[in-house]
Amino acid sequence: MITEALQHIRGIGPARLQKLREDGVRSWHDVVGSPDRLPKPLRSELVDECQRSIDAHSRSDISYFVDRLHPRDRWRILHEFFDQASWFDIETTGLGFDDQITVIVCWHRNQLHTFVEDENLDDFLDLLDDVRLLVSFNGSTFDVPKLLDGFHIPDLPCPHIDLRWPCHYRSLQGGLKQISGRIGIRRPDDLLHADGDLAVQLWSSWKSTGNQNARRQLLRYCAMDVLLLLPLTAYVADRPYTQPDDFWHQLPAAAPIPDDVVADAQRRTLMAHMFGNASPTQLRMRRPRR
């Protein structure tokens, strides 16, 4: 699969790629083995890059491909290195620029790892040193910048793929909840309507009241989002996958949502029905930062 990735080479667009395939040139090995079948203006660059790709593949250099492959071909990285991937998600105190990380959950080496602010959040850096390929959903615009800022590090120590874009090129647009539903992945019943706003409220409730149910449900929600990424990755990467029902048992036990969180959710729902996109909450979120 990954050996058929050619669009990252200069001069190879969709039309040229199709012509190469019609001429029997489908992989790096075809290019290197039969250079006479290549257009003369592109021959040298094609052969050189395909040889570099073969060498990188032989040493399992995931970073080489993450840095170079065309976005349309990144699913091939996930297909090739699926068994070496780790998946993660974060929760924060809000959606603003200055909001802080509260929880990180990572599926790494077939196990859920949980990191919580004021407890063991910094330990995530130690786990990162053992990660070969980090996978997120929308992480390139939210999770990763938050990690870099929160931990004061210049870059991740491992290659990262944002699953949102392989989904996009498979005509799967929207958020994780919408996309997973479209491909038939069902969430646990108690988390069917959970979202990032609920995670913010659960953290606030736990920190202000000490309610352990809020903490448990927050960790359960974040862990669910991480586990959803595994079958979704397999789907876009053309790998066989197991339905989440077979591993929801990995989640922390469900807990009742605290009354103050329920009341806040009801208030926000009421305001949304009353004001729609002009609700005070939405308008406040849209205010330009001064």
Label each residue of 78-129 as H, E or C: HHHHHHHEEEEEEEECCCCCCCCEEEEEEECCCCEEEEECCCCCCHHHHHHC
pLDDT value for 278 = 52
Average pLDDT over residues 225-240: 94
Q: Kindly report the pTM of this predicted structure.
A: 0.87
- Alpha carbons within 13 A on the beta-carbon side of 83: 3
- Domain residue limits, the chain: 2-59, 79-257
**In this structure, CATH architecture of domain 2-59:** Orthogonal Bundle (1.10)
What is the CATH topology of the domain spanning 79-257?
A: Nucleotidyltransferase; domain 5 (3.30.420)
pLDDT bin (cut points 50, 70, 90) of residue 277 is low
pLDDT value for 46 = 94
Average pLDDT over residues 107-113: 96
Q: Do domains 2-59 and 79-257 have the same CATH topology?
A: no
Average pLDDT over residues 193-197: 83
